[in-house]
Amino acid sequence: MAEKKFYAYSVPRTGKRGIAESWKECEKIVKGEENARFKGFKSRTDAEDWLSAGADYSVKKKLPKGVYFDAGTGRGNGVEVSVTDEEGNDLLHEVLPKKKINRFGKHLLGAEVTNNFGELLACRFALEIAVKKNIKKIFGDSRLVIDYWSKGYMNMKEMAPETIELAYIVSSLRKDFERRGGRMEYVSGDDNPADLGFHK
C-alpha cells in the first residue's frame, strides 16, 4: 500500500491555501491556476510548516554537511542518478566524465534498469565522492540500499547478476568508508536535496 501523503497548496488568484489528503484532491484545486504552488509531504505538520513559511520551494530544512544520493524516473527517459551536497549542488562531475552527465547534472541510465539499481549506483558514486573529498557523512532515502544492499545483505535468488555484482562493490566501498570514520544515514525523500521524485 502506498504511503499516505499530505499536499499543501497555495493559489494566489483565489487566496485559497490548505492541505489536501490526496494528489487527486490537490490537483483539482491547482490545475490551470497560474502561479499555484503545491508540494507533497509525509506529515501534516511538515505541510503546515511549508505553508506557514510562505509556500516557498527554496525553503529547505538546514541539512548536515554531507553527500546525498537518489535515483528516479520522473523525466520519462528512464532511471536517472543524482548525487549532491547538502545545498543541492551536483557532485557527479567528481567521479564521472562530462559526457556521462546530462544537462541537469544527473547521470541517465535509461529504461533498461530498475530504480533500485539506480539507487545502488548512486550510493556507489556517493561513497567514491565522500572518500575523495574526505566527507564523513552520506545520506540517502532508500532503506533497501542503506540497510541491506550496501551492507552486502541480499536475496540473490531475486536479483539480477549485475545488481549483485554492484552490491558487492558498494559493500566493499562502504566498509572502507566506515573504517575511515564515515557514516551512512537515512534521510526522508522530502528533505533529500538529491531527490529525483519530481514532486513539488
Q: Please give the pLDDT value at position 75.
A: 75
| C-alpha span between 82 and 3 (Å, rounded) | 23
Q: How far is CA 129 from the centre of its chain?
A: 17
Asked if residues 124 and 109 have their Cβ atoms less than 8 Å apart, the reply is no
12 and 76 together in one domain: no
75 and 139 together in one domain: yes
Q: Domain span at residue 37?
A: 6-53
Q: Please give the pLDDT value at position 56.
A: 76
Q: Is residue 62 situated within a structural domain?
A: no
Burial class (CB in 10 A: 0-12, 13-18, 19+), 177: buried
40 and 85 together in one domain: no
| C-alpha span between 177 and 93 (Å, rounded) | 20
173 and 80 together in one domain: yes
pTM: 0.73
What residues contact 44, with CB distance under 8 A and at least 6 apart? 6, 19
Q: Please give the pLDDT value at position 200.
A: 37
Strand partners, 59: none
49 and 108 together in one domain: no
Q: Is residue 59 situated within a structural domain?
A: no
100 and 139 together in one domain: yes
pLDDT per residue of the chain (200 residues) written in tens, 0 to 9? 456 789 999 999 999 999 999 889 998 999 888 888 888 888 888 888 888 888 877 666 678 999 999 998 877 788 999 999 998 899 999 999 999 999 989 999 988 999 999 999 999 999 999 999 999 999 999 999 999 999 999 998 989 999 999 999 999 999 999 999 999 999 988 788 898 765 43
Q: Please give the pLDDT value at position 46.
A: 84
151 and 120 together in one domain: yes
Q: Is residue 200 situated within a structural domain?
A: no
Q: Please give the pLDDT value at position 1.
A: 45
Q: Is residue 142 situated within a structural domain?
A: yes
Q: Is residue 110 situated within a structural domain?
A: yes
Q: Looking at the chain, list the stretches that DSSP marks H as alpha helix, in order from N- to C-terminal side.
A: 23-30, 44-52, 115-133, 143, 161-179
Q: Is residue 99 situated within a structural domain?
A: yes
Q: How far is CA 196 from the centre of its chain?
A: 5
14, 30, 53 - which closes a domain:
53
137 and 105 together in one domain: yes
Cell of 184: 551512512
| C-alpha span between 139 and 154 (Å, rounded) | 20
Q: Total structural domains in the chain?
A: 2
